[in-house]
Amino acid sequence: MDLSRASLVALSRASFGALRGAMFRDLGLNAASVLQEAGYAGGAELFDAFAAWLSTRGFGAPETLAASDFAARATEFFGEIGWGSLELSAAGPVATIDSSNWAEADPAQPMEFPCCYYTSGALADFFGRLAGQPLAVMEVECRSSGQERCRFLVGSGDVLQAVYDGMGRGESYLEVLGAQ
């Protein structure tokens, strides 16, 4: 992967972790929306980098891949650029993205809530481009908040709002999604 041609920069996990830690220390919960905005802003270049990466391997455009091929290639791509492993699946009306070693999570900086906000922003733009329509992403499990994996839900804004509201009432996201 030629990072500079793909408009990407390499950043060490330690550096990214320090940046996030300082933002939560100094901005409090405002850090969440700042990180999300930054991630979202990079979605286009990330998607283009994935398309170019596919092309050098003889695959077509991302949106032309069969779902199983897409899952396999996306896993390989995000792993290769250092974010970690991921598994794609579905829970009722949403897609799920799970990772047991995602680079934004840091169990050494424990947080009360899932807090891979940069990733949530980046994935929202990335999958929105893939789907050709705006999508929302919400993280519902996170290694930073004591869970074994990070789990992101990808779906329409309405569905994820309902999940958010349901969780606020004490329901689990699986209950709200009818995916128990």
Among 35, 122, 124, 150, binds Zn ion (CB under 5 A): 150
Contact region with Zn ion (CB under 5 A), list: 49-57, 116-124, 129-137, 160-168: 116-124
Contact region with Zn ion (CB under 5 A), list: 14-22, 88-96, 123-131, 140-148: 140-148
Among 54, 86, 116, 177, binds Zn ion (CB under 5 A): 116
Among 46, 74, 103, 105, binds Zn ion (CB under 5 A): 105
Which burial class, exposed, middle or buried, applies to 180 when counting CB atoms under 10 A from its CB (0-12, 13-18, 19+)? Answer: exposed
Give phi and psi for 49, each to the nearest 5.
-65, -40
Least distance between Zn ion and beta carbon 20 (Å): 11
Instruction: Tell me the pairing of strands 136-141 and 87-91.
Output: unpaired
Q: How far apart are CA 28 and CA 142, in angstroms?
A: 18
- Given the complex with Zn ion, which of 105 and 177 has the nearer CB atom? 105
Quick check: 142 binds Zn ion (CB under 5 A)?
yes
22-56 in b/e form (b: 16+ CB < 10 A) is ebbeeeeeebbeebbeebbebbeebbebbbebbee
Footprint of Zn ion (CB under 5 A): 105, 116, 142, 150
